[in-house]
Amino acid sequence: MRTSFTLTKGWQRLAVALALSLAPAVLVHSGWTLSSLLFRTVTLGLIAVLVFGLFEQWPKRLPRWLARWVLQVVGVGVAMPLTTVTIYVLSTKAGAHPFWLDKDRMAGFVMLTFLGILLAPWTALAALLRQKEAFVRHQALAFDLERSELERRALDARLRLLQAQVAPHFLFNTLANVQALADAGSPRAPVLLRSLTAYLRAAVPQLHEPATTLGRELQLVEAYLELMHMRMPDRLRFELHVDASLVALRCPPTMLLTLVENAVRHGIDPSEEGGRIDIHVQRDGDRCVIRVIDTGVGLGQTGQGLGTGLSTLRERLQLVFGGAAHLRVTAQEPRGVCAELDLPARAEGN
Amino acid sequence: MLQGPTALIADDEPLLREALKRLLAQAWPELDVIAEARNGREAVSLFEARRPDICFLDVQMPGLSGVDAANHIGRRAHLVFVTAHDHYAVKASPKGRSITC
């Protein structure tokens, strides 16, 4: 565990060390002048904090058999008698006996050393424990945050999906056309309306489900293409080539529709002479490969890039398949676009 | 015999061309629709060939749009923008009259 040494943490440590240095000084000051005792305990406390902090950062790498917390605790434990000796040597007046020959000073030395060794390593241990707890709490909060972020994104994707299903671009155009035909009293109005109803019949049952099957998705796409063919009979041709063993494959709703709608909107519709759309659903080992190929105006002609539909689709594929699904969009020769979806084919059944 | 005015209609969707023709037949029986175009380019070339009095142009068409075609035809004919979608009507209206049908 390596956490950065923040300023607040530094002040906290200092405060604890000072409090612990003052307490024994006040409790056992008989035989000392209070000020000299305070000076000594506070020095000990500060040295303990310094040693603790030093071994927290240094050395950068430790051998495997030596845990950093052990180094810190032992370091603090060893620093206490060393510091006490230093204090006593330095405070010996010139010409006086060494402190160990002075009975009173020796008693004070032993008392201080004893207190230092008793208090400091335990305090260091307690500090380490608290740091670890704080770290765990911090981790837990970070996990919570990450989870709620993921939940929010899943909800976002779901809402966008609902929107795409309920209000795709072509639906309003088609309704406007039905209206125009009905206003003009055209006998084609009911035909177009019937086709629209067929599309909605395929689309609506999927609204409540987080996943659909490739078979149902193909029905939806076929209803959509029939509808669009009715609107541009001379400009849109299409064909589906489907490996029937794959229709039970589970997939996110409107996965295929997004690709086909894109091909119509950005490929066929902007083209004067129109083109054709071929949908291939094939098995390749344990993968399912879906290709939507159009002969429309191609990439970069409409100035809209690939549309928001594709980036939303990528997001949904990520949510459903993790990294196991791939979407590639490439230019076709001599013109047009191929959108290729590569999915795992094992999630079959039910 | 007195001849009625002539018209060209341009729309990329055949269903909408049909709807417009029906509407016009009801509202203006004397009007003679002499040309139908499927896009702006066809509209311009048919206009040059047939010289109708009025052009009904769909705003959004593949290739050359209705607005582009209108700029081409200029003041040589009466221009009417036709759209099934309200937001195009706003875009096109400064160029001429527009009706939503």
Q: Is residue B88's pLDDT more than 70?
A: no
CA distance B76 to chain A (A): 25
Question: B75 in helix, strand or coil?
Answer: helix
How does pLDDT run across A53-87, given as a tens digit for each residue?
Answer: 888 888 888 888 888 888 988 998 899 889 988 88
Chain B partners of A183 at a C-beta cutoff of 8 Å?
19, 23, 101
Instruction: Give the pLDDT score at A39.
Output: 84
Strand order of the β-sheet with A275-284 is A236-242, A275-284, A287-294, A337-344, A326-331
Instruction: Give the pLDDT score at A214.
Output: 93
E strand or H helix at A136, and its extent?
A: helix A103-166
DSSP result, A83-98:
HHHHHHHHTSPTTSPP
Do B19 and A270 count as a contact with CB atoms less than 8 A apart?
no
φ/ψ of A210, rounded to 5, equals -75, -20
How does pLDDT run across B33-52, given as a tens digit for each residue?
Answer: 999 999 999 999 999 999 99
Contact A233, A198 (CB under 8 A): no
DSSP result, B26-72:
HH-TT-EEEEEESSHHHHHHHHHHH--SEEEEES--SSS-HHHHHHH
Contact B41, B17 (CB under 8 A): no
Q: Tell me what the mean pLDDT of segment A169-180 comes to.
A: 84
Do B15 and A188 count as a contact with CB atoms less than 8 A apart?
yes
CA distance A272 to chain B (A): 5
Chain B partners of A193 at a C-beta cutoff of 8 Å?
none
How does pLDDT run across B53-70, given as a tens digit for each residue?
Answer: 999 999 989 989 999 999
Burial status of residue B89 (CB atoms within 10 A of its CB: 0-12, 13-18, 19 or more): middle
Residue of A177, A268, A304 to mutate for B, most B C-beta atoms under 10 A: A177
Q: Is residue A324's pLDDT more than 60?
A: yes
Q: Is residue A26's pLDDT more than 60?
A: yes
Structure tokens, B43: 């509209």
Chain B partners of A233 at a C-beta cutoff of 8 Å?
14
Question: A245 in helix, strand or coil?
Answer: helix
Q: Is residue B93's pLDDT more than 50?
A: no
β-bridge pairing A326-331 and A337-344: antiparallel
Contact A183, B101 (CB under 8 A): yes
Kindly give, in sequence order, each residue whose CB lies less than 8 Å from that of residue A196, ignoring residues fewer than 6 positions away.
A171, A174, A175, A178, A227
Q: Tell me what the mean pLDDT of segment A137-164 comes to.
A: 82
Burial status of residue A47 (CB atoms within 10 A of its CB: 0-12, 13-18, 19 or more): buried
β-bridge pairing B54-58 and B32-37: unpaired
Strand order of the β-sheet with B78-83 is B32-37, B6-10, B54-58, B78-83, B97-100
Within 178-207 of A, beta carbons closer than 8 Å to B belong to 179-181, 183-186, 188, 192
Specify whether the backbone of A278 is left (phi greater than 0), alpha (psi in -120 to 50) or beta: beta
| Chains A & B: contacts with CB separation below 8 Å | 63
Instruction: Give the pLDDT score at B94.
Output: 45
Do A184 and B19 count as a contact with CB atoms less than 8 A apart?
yes
Q: Cis peptide before A334, with omega less than 30 degrees from 0?
A: yes
For the entire predicted model, the pTM comes to 0.64
- C-alpha A225/C-alpha A294 separation (Å) is 13
Chain B partners of A232 at a C-beta cutoff of 8 Å?
12-14
- C-alpha A92/C-alpha A127 separation (Å) is 34
Within 226-285 of A, beta carbons closer than 8 Å to B belong to 230-235, 269-272, 274
Do A173 and B26 count as a contact with CB atoms less than 8 A apart?
no
Instruction: Give the pLDDT score at A31.
Output: 63
Q: Rg of the Cα trace of chain B?
A: 12
Structure tokens, A319: 């949510």
Q: Smallest Cα–Cα separation from A107: which of A49, A58, A37, A51?
A: A37
E strand or H helix at A77, and its extent?
A: helix A68-90
- C-alpha A314/C-alpha A335 separation (Å) is 24
Could you say which of A172, A192, A232 has the minimum Cβ distance to residue B12? Answer: A232
Amino acid identity of residue A23, one-letter, is A
DSSP result, A282-311:
EEETTEEEEEEEE-SS-TTSSSSTTHHHHH
Tokens 């593949």 found at: B62
Instruction: Give the pLDDT score at B96.
Output: 47
Q: What percent of chain A stands above pLDDT 70?
A: 90
Amino acid identity of residue A221, one-letter, is V
Confidence grade of residue B2 (pLDDT, cut at 50, 70, 90): low
Instruction: Give the pLDDT score at A315.
Output: 82
- C-alpha A183/C-alpha B23 separation (Å) is 8
Q: Smallest Cα–Cα separation from A257: which of A321, A299, A214?
A: A214
Task: Find the angle CA(A9)-CA(A10)-CA(A14) to the nearest 5 degrees.
Answer: 115
DSSP assignment, residue A338? E
Task: Find the angle CA(B83)-CA(A237)-CA(A251) to the nearest 5 degrees.
Answer: 95
Out of A170-184, A231-245, A335-349, B81-95, pick the least confident.
B81-95
Instruction: Give the pLDDT score at B52.
Output: 96
Q: Tell me what the mean pLDDT of segment B64-89 comes to.
A: 84
Do B19 and A232 count as a contact with CB atoms less than 8 A apart?
no
Structure tokens, A104: 């009173």
Do A233 and B101 count as a contact with CB atoms less than 8 A apart?
no
Q: Is residue A1's pLDDT more than 50?
A: no
b/e map A135-158, b = 16+ CB within 10 Å: eeeeeeeeeeeeeeeeeeeeeebe
Instruction: Give the pLDDT score at A301.
Output: 57
Residue of B9, B13, B15, B44 to mutate for A, most A C-beta atoms under 10 A: B15
